[in-house]
Amino acid sequence: MLRYSLLTAGLLLGTSAIAAPAGDLPLMPWPTSVERPATHGALVLSKDISVRVSGDDLGDAVSRLRQRISLQTGWTLQPQADNPDNATITIAIARKVAPLPKPDSDESYALTVDARGVNIAANTRFGALRAMETLLQLVQNGPENTSLPWVSIKDAPRFPWRGLLLDSARHFIPLDDIKRQIDGMAAAKLNVLHWHLTDDQGWRFASKRYPKLTQLASDGQFYTQDQMRDVVRYATARGVRVVPEIDMPGHASAIAVAYPELMSAPGPYEMERHWGVLKPVMDPTKEATYTFASAMIGELAAIFPDPYLHIGGDEVDDSQWKANPAIQQFMRDNKLADSHALQAYFNRKLETILEKNQRQMVGWDEIFHPDLPKSILIQSWQGQDALGEVAKQGYKGILSTGFYLDQPQYTAYHYRNEIVPQGLNNVDVITDSDSAQSWSFTLPRLKGKPVDGSFTLVKGEAGWRGFIDFNGKSRRAVQDIVWRSDNQVTFSVDTWMGETRPVVTVNDDKIGGYFLLGNSRYPVTGQRLEAVPEGIAPVVPDASQQANLLGGEAALWAENVAAPVLDIKLWPRAFAVAERLWSAQDVTDIDNMYTRLQAIDTWATVSVGLQQHARQQVQFTRLANTTDTLALTILAQALEPAQYYTRNHLKFQAGNYDLFEPLNRLADALAPESNTVRQMNRWVDRLVSDAEDSESAESLRHLFTRWQSNTPDALALADSNYQLKAIKPVIQTVDKLAAIGLRLTDLVARQGTLDDAEIASIQNELDKAAQIQDEVVIAAVYPLETLLRATRNP
């Protein structure tokens, strides 16, 4: 057995790059070090697999491991004796520790597979649990047998806090669904379940001291204290911590319904059904408020043993505070300059209560205040700059911006989202030999204020580079700048709105066109600027301050997520977030990630029991009114839900942004990203770069022909269920796009061209097809645009 210090040192020094011989292994998150022998041997498995554990008692983890091997192989395993000699799988644990995971639990491990069997060495039970998940990912049902590849793996997480927020307040999540997500978290090596239990629309935590919270403000949907303890036990067995959140002092409409005397305005109050930032806020000047908070924290601490407790603290609407004379007088008496200072006063009192209960405060960006101790933890929804400032000031922080999985986004966007704030690497330093030009822009949104800013493109000796300034936010470097012959320019940049790709045409001193937010077009206008604007530099903590960044959390807010579609929204994308939080910073190959993600998607369905595919099939069956859902499955290949918060904002515009808006559209059943369109992009890129690539051309023809043949069946389904009627124009448009695709594929394959009038006509059809219909985008438009550009005369 390796000593603790030697094993840890070896893991930290191990290579993180995906070497060619090992890169084909379906592992996610990718381990610290993966080495395979030149012989590429394999350990053949059979139904007499046995497991031996020494150094600690893993509870039912061994039986769960064997059960999942059965699921993956279809075998009924032979019964095994307790800790058999000559076991197939040997797990050696160096130190016995308490089974309750902690923020500093050692999760490192080493795993070796060779002709003699499987050996796992871990410093603690938590490393052993992580190693068992890696082992299960290695099981391969090949052409001749079931086997494990010979491999040597050393592994440890990059960040200690790797979380997932589940929002049970807006749409209630049944216990079985929560437990299944915990299984998924353990499989992805995520280790913190952030359980959002209260919000304006519901109070889900059964309080014995304040029973009216669930009697009046839960619609009868809440968790008993025994049920919450059961979730903690379930998570603990899988090495997952549970951090509860009750939101205070804002997001308090549910509290207002049950105990209006705690609020800053007299009411009356009714159950809130709408989404958004709402006015009810607790009164920080009343002693009863802190009696309530003390009772809540005491009850939560008795149920949830984790040292951290989340108090929310975000999005406080201070209008009730400003309108209350007694609160305003209190602020003057206590020299509290503004509402932020009043909230800090509230949080200081709350922090004292937490300390008495041996708990540390976690809260969103808004709790950050110099009057609070460095022991608090800031969760950032405002982005890397806010997180960078937290780290620079000596506070601990975790990132959620860019990991909001309730938003449909490309997996690659989440995967590129780096925890540590990045600098500009002098991209905005303009020398005498550079030529730079800036344009302002205004991007109206469907809800909220327009997004304003400017972008600057620089032509230097090394080619094009550039940067973008959103008003009030730090400067960002842009990538993939392309100037086209028709004065159209495009580039890409990741923003808080998702993968952002401006496609604008310069006409004299004006610009027009659109910003592509994910897959959704937002019209934009702007004009040439006389000079390059002053920008805001990114907040980048130094190396020592970066130690304050503990990791991050994926967030699954529930305005558009209910239990029947929960898995569809979360998996498999959460594995990519988990890799960003576990694996080394230089594990960034997007294509390799997608290849492994596809394998993990299959594995997680079989081994873990995640239901992203089963739940989609149920939704398709409901919409089709038949179990023959092939027509919807084929149609869905071309489609994606409108990305960013476009769907939320469309519901808001329609007056349906509330609890009772049914999540029953085709958009709700779609995966956030179409794997078929992603493959289609690869075929198109290959064909455009090599017109003689007959395989890609034939793959495209086959796909377009399938879409055309599917049209009558899809239209028949749309006529059979009123919930599909709005998608009928989408079906007809996909049929038109398939015909365009066939023509363009043939043209590119024989290196033919179109004249400007024909190109303009087809582009017009593509522009119309790109418009959002019933919250759906025909994502196939974009690879077709690439084909169209290839038909332009050189």
**pLDDT tens for each residue of 445-461:** 999 999 999 999 999 99
Contacts of 472 by beta carbon, 8 Å cutoff, 6+ apart = 536
Among 354, 60, 97, CA closest to 233: 60
Q: What confidence score (pLDDT) does residue 9 get?
A: 33
Q: Rounded to 5 degrees, what are φ and ψ at 308?
A: -105, 145
Q: What confidence score (pLDDT) does residue 124 get?
A: 98
Q: What confidence score (pLDDT) does residue 10 get?
A: 34
pLDDT band for 225, please (50, 70, 90 cuts): very high
Centre a 10 Å sphere on the Cβ of residue 95 and count the other Cβ atoms it contains.
Answer: 12
661-672 per-residue burial string, b: 16 or more CB within 10 A, e: under 16: bebebbbbbbbb
**pLDDT tens for each residue of 465-516:** 999 999 999 999 999 999 988 899 999 999 999 999 999 999 989 999 999 9
Cα–Cα distance for residue pair 286/279, rounded to 1 Å: 18
Cis peptide before 266 (omega within 30 of 0): no
254 within 8 A of 243, measured Cβ to Cβ: no
Cα–Cα distance for residue pair 112/151, rounded to 1 Å: 6
The DSSP letter of residue 313 is: -
pLDDT band for 82, please (50, 70, 90 cuts): confident
Q: What confidence score (pLDDT) does residue 486 get?
A: 83
Question: Is 315 considered catalytic here?
Answer: yes
Catalytic entry in 315, 418, 661, 765: 315
Q: What confidence score (pLDDT) does residue 377 get?
A: 97
Contacts of 753 by beta carbon, 8 Å cutoff, 6+ apart = 747, 791, 792, 793
Q: What confidence score (pLDDT) does residue 19 get?
A: 38
Q: 207 by DSSP, 3-state: which?
A: coil
Cα–Cα distance for residue pair 337/118, rounded to 1 Å: 63
Task: Point out the least confidently predicted range of 276-280, 291-295, 548-552.
Answer: 276-280
Q: 617 by DSSP, 3-state: which?
A: helix
Q: Domains in the chain, ordered, with CATH? A: 4-155 (3.30.379.10), 161-292+300-419+549-554 (3.20.20.80), 435-529 (2.40.128.120), 611-789 (no CATH)
Calculate what percentage of the chain has a pLDDT beyond 90: 95
Q: Can you give the C-alpha Rg of the chain in angstroms?
A: 28
Residue 539 has pLDDT above 70, yes or no: yes
Please identify which residue in the block is written with the tokens 């998607």. 601
pLDDT band for 18, please (50, 70, 90 cuts): very low
pTM, two decimals, is 0.95
**pLDDT tens for each residue of 581-591:** 999 999 999 99
Cis peptide before 29 (omega within 30 of 0): yes
Cα–Cα distance for residue pair 69/147, rounded to 1 Å: 11
CA dist 737 → 633, 666, 705, 749, 785 (Å): 17, 20, 11, 18, 11
Q: 654 by DSSP, 3-state: which?
A: coil
Q: 93 by DSSP, 3-state: which?
A: strand
* Interval 274-285 mean pLDDT: 96
Q: What confidence score (pLDDT) does residue 23 get?
A: 62
Centre a 10 Å sphere on the Cβ of residue 53 and count the other Cβ atoms it contains.
Answer: 20
Residue 24 has pLDDT above 90, yes or no: no
Task: Please count the residues of the chain.
Answer: 794
**pLDDT tens for each residue of 599-615:** 999 999 999 999 999 99
Residue 413 has pLDDT above 70, yes or no: yes
